[in-house]
Chain A
Amino acid sequence: MLTKKLPPLQSFLVQVSRRASHVARQQYDVIVVGGGHAGTEAAAAAARVGAQTLLVSQKIHTIGALSCNPSLGGVGKGQLVKEIDALDGVCGRAGDWAGIHFSILNRSKGPAVWGPRAQLDRQRYREFIQSELLSTPRLTVLEGSVEELLVTEPNPEEPGQHRVTGIRLANESHPISASSVILTTGTFLSGSLFMGQTTSPGGRIGDAPSSAGLSHTLRERLGLRTGRLRTGTPPRIVKDSVDLSLAQLHPPDSHSTPFSFLNTHTRCKPEEQLPCYLTYTTPGVERVVKESLHLNCHIQQDTKGPRYCPSIESRVLRFPGRSHRVWLEPEGMTSDLLYPQGLSMTMPPDVQLRLIREIPAMHRAEIHTPGYGVQYDFVCPTQLSPALQVKSTQGLFLAGQINGTTGYEEAAAQGLWAGVNAARWALSMPAVALSRTESYIGVLIDDLVSRGVTEPYRMFTSRAEFRTTLRPDNADLRLTLKGFEEVGCVSSFRYQKAVRVRDSLQDALAALQSLALSPSIWRKKMPDIPMSETKNNVPTGMDILQYNDVSFETMASAFPECLSPYMEFSQRLKIEAVYRPHSEQQRKEIERIQREENMSLPQDIDYLSLPVSLSQEVREILDRVRPSTLGAATRLQGITPAAVVHLLNYVRHTGQKERRPHRYRTDQREDEEPRARNTSLPR
């Protein structure tokens, strides 16, 4: 994939705008509004599933822009990138193309929590994404501002049930119709920008605010509950004005590990890559923050900001008297700017300059663009189904910051899954869900739709119950096969590759398992292994490979005849051997949760009048949240075990009645039963 030639940007733009002029009145299966991380993954995924897809963005040249930090991945986020890639998404390959500093975080803490991460060249990233979208069949890109979301009046037989019919662009009289619309408006939904004491409408500096019509439709016509969140971005620093000798140098890994399962190497070789620099705040920084508080509107307002990506203001106010880390990151191969990670700030520009100059390495630094804060609306995500469809509006899907999350990877993951389901909805295929037992994407979506958010949601590995099973190394086994066989968002090229990997790994593990030898033979073959006598009598290759200082390479050199064919998987086999006993222990728990998740609750239950014995309190909780499965219902606070039994009884009765007609439908394959299905985990 890395060998692909990018089309020159100029001709690309011409092509797009030409398309736009003559396609604007067509009918599409899926329309994606927004060209950020969620929007681009959504559009690409919908097109991969087979839907005629239109991506509408205010400016075509900002599609794929990195609005904030020039980096991708990290601990938890890297896991998401691997999973997006496993489902044939775009961002992993884009990262491999645009990365200019690759490293694996948490290297010493175990492969389950490794955090693949890269600093990106902003321009290369954008170019890759734009070129990728352009070459995606069934996908059209259109520049324009969405004026209105078109929805039907509610069906009198199903109160509150609207249906999406399309969108209307500003300055266009004719609507564009579609079965599904995905909104990925990021921080643009009623967004306002803050810097010092000035406020202006908008979602990103330099871009026009989005139309008020959209948020009006969501709130007033569809009656969706919204909340307000805030975020911010640091000033960009002129590289030449920084004394980097006063900061700590952090070189990239000597061997770059690509994000994508399709790539064996990254575009930028390790020796060409750029370093990052680490420096620290000083007491002077704290002083400047405290002195300028009265000039800082953003920080005075009590909108919820993230606890884990806070501005420098909230950091020094919450943890005074400490020095905080500041990373100086390259913005691109040829960029003359640095991105000071950890210095997000919203004070007036002159104070920002004073603040950064309190840090020794930046004592003469110049600001290229000042930092600013953004406040924006989000739609409470408990109003969505696990397919990320608005429960009360058929065909309307939401993804990204509009659902209360923060971060590129979180947005991209939701975009991909919303794109898949929007396409399936448009093509009359049943919705698909990812379980929290099989993926971080599943954890993310389940947390959002069943718990909601109170602050911008970011992924951490600690959110995943089955962290040792949901590893970055096995994302392809967990998702690529399912993505092709059940979801339809994976190309057959990638699928074939994953099948080959799965089969080879299975063969290799079987070979290791069949190497059952007595301790004395092991000692003879591999003299360095710390073999204890008390271990079971005939340890297998799997047992031995679990040892801390035994690598697959050493084993393969001791048993070349049966193990050498699998050398390309040596790292994955070692990881598999170490984690397998724990995965086995967890499997029972995983299966239990998956069974719960497979019992769906009809969305139209009238909980308030349901003729079963439920307390008023339980009825109200169920009515408010409308869990989509019994599994989700049990996770709700306030739902008693007794209520679960009654619900189960109800589902069983109605389930039997409802299922009957399906059995006579011969046009529907059995495995297309409109219920979330599970898959067994890679063993």
Chain B
Amino acid sequence: MLPSVYHGVWRAAVHTLRTRGTPPCRLLSTAPLADAETIFALSSGHGRCGVAVVRTSGPASATALKHMAGLTRNLPPPRTALLRSITHPQSKEVLDRGLVLWFPAPHSFTGEDCVEFHIHGGPAVITAVLQALGSVAGMRPADAGEFTRRAFQAGKLGLTEVEGLGDLIHAETEAQRRQALRQMSGELGRLYQDWSHRLKRCLAHVEAFIDFSEDELIEDGVLNQVDSSVCDLQAEMERHLKDERRGERLRSGVQVVIAGATNAGKSSLLNTLCQRPAAIVSPIAGTTRDVVETALDIGGFPILLSDTAGLRDSPDLVEREGVRRARERVEQADLTLVVVDCAHLSSDAQQAAAFIQGHLTSVLPTQEQPESVFPTDRFLLVLNKSDLLPEEQKQKLDRELRCVSGLPPVCLISCHTNEGLQDFLTVLHSSVKTLCGDPLSGAPTLTQARHRAHLQQCFAALAQYQRYRDMDMALAAEGVRLALTSLGRITGRVGAEEILDIIFKDFCIGK
């Protein structure tokens, strides 16, 4: 199993030989060369820019164009810019409004059917469009340099440009390697490496069972171990694939909910953040009864901010419904801003911390156990009305609360004077950024989409193991091999020798 980057080079090689000179061998001229896969990628540079260009190449380009630019009947005239609403092909949600261009084969950069989407350059829009393209059947994110290689393949690059292509591939693989290193050193990398390691053992044990169990003393339990390992891996991958909602958050916005006791200043916070009186503010407790929603852009990330009713027991039926809805929102939220009136806090830091903790517990969704580790990454603590505290006490509170462990990040602000607002926005931005992943470092949107595709393949391949486990070990093993190859596209390939090494380490093979 070769690294994927080789594949394209070879397809290119064969095709060029075919189109340019005498075929080197009889069969080459009859071998099917059509690349069924359609690729897509962001073609303009990464980072914030006015206009971004997303390009596709391959047979499914036309389908993508029709579905995403609402061109159900006819394709647009070739090479003509058309202003269209760009929609998600399944949800029909409008993602952006921009130019689309249709380049039918062979008059395109790659010689295949190509489409260009010229869209707005924000990371959220780009990610949304890339993800929408990924949902079209037959489309996948492009490998590094794949557009250029396809152009090479189609004879669109001159011979003198081959040198350039070599350099490009070198640069890209180098960049890929660095990027992989960067990602691999993180927690995600450790997770994938761990999976890869466990899969290798599974495969080694299955292969040992196939190649040696007739002659050797391979314990009967070997396959049972593999079974439970495969089960665990499947469950973990499923959870991982589900949990990884970052892309969806980017598309639909991060759900941020403001919650807290009545009259803490929740609606004031909403108004301050959206810089308009979106919610009614009054000194009367229980002013907000329903959920007030507003969409915001925090440092380039879309968020959906909801103001909720203050949490208290109320005899008022309407208000009780409001509180129920508020709790429901908190349960579904990606991030909850817990607002506390700092005038209610004791001047003693210990007592203040105890009060806050008690308060957080009351805000938390009921099914989450307060004894368990507090999910601090999903909460921000906003101590409002700091203008009512003397300067000295403010500083003391701020300093001491930071030292209390188990508390979410704390921000001391005043919606009245905007004091501390800038700091709060910085904290909010970094929380949202973590929730979405940072599309500005490297090209993670693309990389993540690719990772996701490989992980999904890996997951599906493990199901093949289970399907054939009791019928045909060769086909079951094929599932584990495929799973490892798919994961290997992220973590690096695994050769047959490596598997044999594990077999000989784990078993006494002595025919």
Interface residues of A (CB under 8 A from B): 74-76, 105-106, 108-113, 115, 307-310, 312, 315, 318-319, 322-325, 327, 341-342, 460-463, 465, 467-468, 548, 578-579, 582, 591-592, 595-596, 598-600, 613, 630, 634-635, 640-646, 648-649, 652, 655-656, 659, 663, 670-671, 673, 675, 677-680
Given contacts A115-B214, A468-B475, is CB(A324)–CB(B510) below 8 Å? yes
A67–B28 Cα distance when bound, in Å, is 45
Chain B nearest CB, measured from A84 CB (Å): 20
Given contacts A75-B214, A642-B166, is CB(A324)–CB(B511) below 8 Å? no
Nearest B residue to A309, CB-CB:
B511
Residues of B within 8 A of A595 (CB): 10, 14, 28, 31
Nearest B residue to A599, CB-CB:
B24
A596–B31 Cα distance when bound, in Å, is 12
Stretch at the interface among B157-165, B318-326, B376-384: B157-165
A641 touches B9 (CB 8 A): yes
A319–B472 Cα distance when bound, in Å, is 30
B27 touches A318 (CB 8 A): no
Residues of B within 8 A of A678 (CB): 27
B207 touches A462 (CB 8 A): yes
Chain B nearest CB, measured from A278 CB (Å): 10
Nearest B residue to A451, CB-CB:
B497
Given contacts A110-B475, A591-B31, A677-B27, is CB(A640)–CB(B504) below 8 Å? no
Residues of A within 8 A of B20 (CB): 652
Residues of A within 8 A of B478 (CB): 467-468, 582
Across the interface, A308 reaches (CB within 8 A) one of B162, B473, B496, B504, namely: B504
Nearest B residue to A105, CB-CB:
B214
Chain B nearest CB, measured from A612 CB (Å): 8
B474 touches A599 (CB 8 A): no
Interface assignment of B1: CB less than 8 Å from any CB of chain A:
yes
Across the interface, B26 reaches (CB within 8 A) one of A307, A310, A319, A673, namely: A673
Interface assignment of B508: CB less than 8 Å from any CB of chain A:
yes
Given contacts A109-B210, A310-B510, A578-B472, is CB(A462)–CB(B499) below 8 Å? yes
Interface assignment of B328: CB less than 8 Å from any CB of chain A:
no
A642–B149 Cα distance when bound, in Å, is 12
B1 touches A465 (CB 8 A): yes
Q: Which of B31, B159, B476 has the most CB of A within 10 A?
A: B31
Across the interface, A652 reaches (CB within 8 A) one of B21, B475, B500, namely: B21
Interface assignment of B16: CB less than 8 Å from any CB of chain A:
yes
Given contacts A110-B471, A325-B217, A598-B25, is CB(A462)–CB(B210) below 8 Å? yes
Q: Which 8 A-B pairs have the closest CB atoms?
A: A110-B472, A109-B473, A112-B474, A642-B170, A110-B474, A319-B508, A105-B214, A462-B207
Nearest A residue to B170, CB-CB:
A642
A342–B22 Cα distance when bound, in Å, is 56
B166 touches A613 (CB 8 A): yes
B24 touches A659 (CB 8 A): yes
Interface assignment of B398: CB less than 8 Å from any CB of chain A:
no
Taken residue by residue from 3 to 36, chain B's Cβ proximity to chain A (1 for < 8 Å, 0 otherwise) reads as 1011101111110110011101111100110000
Nearest B residue to A462, CB-CB:
B207
Across the interface, B510 reaches (CB within 8 A) one of A108, A325, A673, namely: A325
A74 touches B215 (CB 8 A): yes
Residues of B within 8 A of A308 (CB): 212, 504, 509-511
Q: A461-B474, A463-B496 known; 9 other A-B pairs, CB under 8 Å?
A: A308-B504, A461-B210, A467-B477, A582-B478, A592-B10, A641-B9, A641-B169, A655-B21, A673-B25
Across the interface, A644 reaches (CB within 8 A) one of B9, B14, B215, namely: B9
Given contacts A76-B211, A105-B214, A670-B26, is CB(A599)–CB(B13) below 8 Å? yes
Residues of A within 8 A of B248 (CB): none
Residues of B within 8 A of A465 (CB): 1, 496
Taken residue by residue from 493 to 510, chain B's Cβ proximity to chain A (1 for < 8 Å, 0 otherwise) reads as 000100110011000111
B169 touches A642 (CB 8 A): yes
Chain B residues touching A, majority SS: helix
A671 touches B26 (CB 8 A): yes
Interface assignment of B167: CB less than 8 Å from any CB of chain A:
yes
Nearest B residue to A107, CB-CB:
B214
List 16 A-B pairs, Cβ < 8 Å: A106-B214, A110-B476, A111-B472, A318-B508, A324-B510, A460-B500, A461-B207, A465-B496, A548-B471, A578-B472, A598-B28, A641-B169, A648-B12, A652-B20, A656-B22, A680-B27
Given contacts A113-B473, A582-B475, is CB(A315)–CB(B11) below 8 Å? no
Interface assignment of B354: CB less than 8 Å from any CB of chain A:
no
B13 touches A648 (CB 8 A): yes
B472 touches A109 (CB 8 A): yes
B170 touches A640 (CB 8 A): yes
Residues of B within 8 A of A677 (CB): 25-27
A325 touches B216 (CB 8 A): yes
Nearest B residue to A459, CB-CB:
B211
Across the interface, B6 reaches (CB within 8 A) one of A591, A634, A646, A649, namely: A634
A322–B507 Cα distance when bound, in Å, is 11
A635 touches B2 (CB 8 A): yes
Residues of A within 8 A of B426 (CB): none
Given contacts A109-B474, A308-B509, is CB(A462)–CB(B27) below 8 Å? no
Nearest A residue to B32, CB-CB:
A591
Interface assignment of B347: CB less than 8 Å from any CB of chain A:
no
B6 touches A641 (CB 8 A): yes
Residues of B within 8 A of A680 (CB): 27
Interface assignment of B351: CB less than 8 Å from any CB of chain A:
no
Residues of A within 8 A of B362 (CB): none
B508 touches A649 (CB 8 A): no
Residues of A within 8 A of B500 (CB): 460, 462-463
B24 touches A645 (CB 8 A): no
A600–B25 Cα distance when bound, in Å, is 10
A463–B481 Cα distance when bound, in Å, is 12
A17–B129 Cα distance when bound, in Å, is 83
Residues of B within 8 A of A600 (CB): 24
Interface assignment of B418: CB less than 8 Å from any CB of chain A:
no
Nearest B residue to A307, CB-CB:
B504
A589–B31 Cα distance when bound, in Å, is 13
A460 touches B211 (CB 8 A): yes
A259–B214 Cα distance when bound, in Å, is 19
Nearest B residue to A679, CB-CB:
B27
Residues of A within 8 A of B350 (CB): none
A675–B173 Cα distance when bound, in Å, is 32
A324 touches B217 (CB 8 A): yes
Nearest A residue to B10, CB-CB:
A596
Residues of B within 8 A of A644 (CB): 6, 9-10, 13
Residues of A within 8 A of B162 (CB): 645-646, 649
Nearest A residue to B216, CB-CB:
A325
B166 touches A309 (CB 8 A): no
A325–B216 Cα distance when bound, in Å, is 7
Residues of B within 8 A of A642 (CB): 166-167, 169-170, 173
A504–B1 Cα distance when bound, in Å, is 34
Chain A nearest CB, measured from B99 CB (Å): 34
Chain B nearest CB, measured from A281 CB (Å): 10
Residues of B within 8 A of A325 (CB): 215-217, 510
Chain A nearest CB, measured from B509 CB (Å): 4
Taken residue by residue from 459 to 497, chain B's Cβ proximity to chain A (1 for < 8 Å, 0 otherwise) reads as 000000000100111111110000000000000000010
Residues of A within 8 A of B504 (CB): 307-308
Residues of B within 8 A of A598 (CB): 24-25, 27-28
Chain A nearest CB, measured from B365 CB (Å): 38
Residues of B within 8 A of A108 (CB): 473
Chain A nearest CB, measured from B27 CB (Å): 6
Chain B nearest CB, measured from A333 CB (Å): 23
Nearest B residue to A75, CB-CB:
B211
Given contacts A465-B1, A642-B167, is CB(A110)–CB(B473) below 8 Å? yes
Chain B nearest CB, measured from A81 CB (Å): 16
B5 touches A641 (CB 8 A): yes
A318–B213 Cα distance when bound, in Å, is 19
Residues of A within 8 A of B163 (CB): 613, 646, 649
Taken residue by residue from 301 to 341, chain B's Cβ proximity to chain A (1 for < 8 Å, 0 otherwise) reads as 00000000000000000000000000000000000000000
**B275-305 interface with A by 8 A CB criterion:** none
